[in-house]
């Protein structure tokens, strides 16, 4: 329920007002740095729009709420592709939108990472939100406001702020370790037995990545973070060979660009302004978008820290 969300009271009040208007259709752009928190709020809003017992808050127990939570609701569609939603997916959505509502209330489309939409996908989406069918609601999410102006201008903007340590119920130290990311922190609290002070050698990064991919167990994700932390703590004593070994371990365990960008992002956030080369490192990280060879990118990055 809204009242269980510990942060963003202002955004919640705003959404409650929106719900009271009982609009026929609408497009909302939820933006903020915490990608998973955006999804959480998008789902909360989706539940509110379709809840059978809505009274200033969704109930979280009716069939509609439960099925939206488990993402099995017939009138809910979530498009999720961190590399940018493909045009075919938007077309399928348009087709679905033109047919009648399956479960009778509102159709809700959560479209994530709209800042990454390519031009043709964005234009296809634009067509839908320009003249929305009655009962259709679009909840777009984006980690920044660098969204196509034509989409932005047709959306109701809702800023979802990152939760602070107190709201999320952890110490500053724990918060910093996870860079304030709500999903990671929730997983950390759920597991409950992870010791963040315990170290993990940078040499084990490949092993940790493999375990994380194979098992999906959160403790291995934490071990990856720890290996990066160890690399940064010891970097002044490491030889070039050590640094190349670290890179080799990463690239031989994974080839997913988004995953590697997350590793670079975590590294940059941990060093913060301690590095004289911060700008250069950010520039190298952003090269990850192009087709540049990943190993070269990582070598350049980790030998410049
Ligand atoms: Zn409900």
**Interval 79-113: pLDDT, tens:** 999 888 999 999 999 988 887 666 668 999 999 99
Q: What are phi and psi of 82, to 5 degrees?
A: -65, -15
pLDDT band of 168, cuts 50, 70, 90: very high
Would you give the distance in Å from CA 258 to the centre of its chain? 12
Q: Please give the distance, rounded to the nearest whole angstrom, from the Cα atom of residue 180 to the centre of ligand 1.
A: 29
Answer yes or no: do 120 and 205 share one domain: no
The reply to whether 172 falls in a domain is no
Q: Please give the distance, rounded to the nearest whole angstrom, from the Cα atom of residue 75 to the centre of ligand 1.
A: 14
Q: Please give the distance, rounded to the nearest whole angstrom, from the Cα atom of residue 68 to the centre of ligand 1.
A: 9
Answer yes or no: do 232 and 104 share one domain: no
Q: What is the pLDDT of residue 291?
A: 74
Domain total of the chain: 2
Would you give the distance in Å from CA 192 to the centre of its chain? 23
Q: Please give the distance, rounded to the nearest whole angstrom, from the Cα atom of residue 55 to the centre of ligand 1.
A: 10
With a pLDDT cut of 90, the percent of the chain lying above it is 81
Q: What is the pLDDT of residue 82?
A: 86
Beta-bridge partner residues of 142 = 31
CATH of the domain at 21: 3.40.50.300
Q: Please give the distance, rounded to the nearest whole angstrom, from the Cα atom of residue 3 to the centre of ligand 1.
A: 14
Q: Please give the distance, rounded to the nearest whole angstrom, from the Cα atom of residue 204 to the centre of ligand 1.
A: 46
pLDDT band of 24, cuts 50, 70, 90: very high
Q: Please give the distance, rounded to the nearest whole angstrom, from the Cα atom of residue 73 to the centre of ligand 1.
A: 12
* DSSP H or E segment with residue 2: none
Q: What is the pLDDT of residue 195?
A: 96
Q: Please give the distance, rounded to the nearest whole angstrom, from the Cα atom of residue 112 to the centre of ligand 1.
A: 23
Nearest to 111 by CA among 131, 85, 130, 145: 85
Q: Which residues of 191-205 are buried (b: 16+ CB within 10 A; e: fewer)?
A: eeebebeeebebebb
**Interval 269-287: pLDDT, tens:** 998 877 778 888 888 888 8
Q: Please give the distance, rounded to the nearest whole angstrom, from the Cα atom of residue 65 to the centre of ligand 1.
A: 4
The reply to whether 184 falls in a domain is no
Asked if the model's pLDDT at residue 267 lies above 90, the reply is yes
Asked if the model's pLDDT at residue 128 lies above 70, the reply is yes
Q: What is the pLDDT of residue 171?
A: 96
The reply to whether 63 falls in a domain is yes
């Amino acid at each position: 329920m809204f009242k269980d969300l510990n942060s963003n009271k202002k955004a919640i009040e705003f959404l409650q007002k929106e719900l009271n208007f009982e609009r026929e259709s609408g497009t909302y752009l939820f933006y903020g740095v915490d990608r998973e928190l955006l999804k959480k709020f998008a789902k909360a809003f989706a539940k509110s729009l379709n809840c059978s017992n809505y009274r200033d808050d969704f109930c979280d127990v009716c069939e509609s709420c439960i099925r939206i939570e488990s993402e099995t609701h017939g009138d809910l569609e979530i498009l999720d592709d961190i590399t940018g939603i493909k045009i075919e997916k938007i077309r399928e959505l348009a087709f679905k939108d033109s047919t009648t509502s399956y479960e009778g209330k509102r159709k809700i489309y959560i479209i994530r990472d709209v800042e990454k939409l390519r031009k043709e996908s964005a234009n296809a989406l634009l067509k839908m939100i320009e003249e929305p069918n009655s009962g259709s609601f679009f909840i777009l999410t984006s980690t920044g406001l660098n969204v196509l102006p034509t989409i932005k201008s047709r959306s109701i903007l809702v800023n979802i702020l990152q939760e602070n340590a107190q709201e999320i119920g952890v110490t500053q130290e724990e918060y910093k370790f996870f860079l304030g990311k709500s999903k990671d922190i929730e997983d950390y609290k759920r597991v409950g037995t992870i010791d963040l002070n315990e170290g993990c050698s940078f040499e084990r990064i490949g092993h940790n990545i493999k375990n994380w991919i194979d098992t999906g167990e959160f403790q291995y994700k934490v071990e990856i973070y720890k290996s990066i932390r160890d690399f940064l703590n010891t970097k002044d004593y490491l030889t070039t060979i050590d640094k190349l070994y670290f890179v080799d371990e990463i690239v031989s365990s994974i080839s997913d660009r988004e995953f590697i960008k997350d590793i670079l992002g975590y590294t940059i956030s941990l060093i913060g302004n301690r590095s004289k080369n911060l700008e250069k490192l950010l520039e190298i990280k952003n090269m990850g978008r192009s087709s540049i060879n990943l190993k070269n990118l990582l070598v350049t990055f980790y030998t410049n820290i």
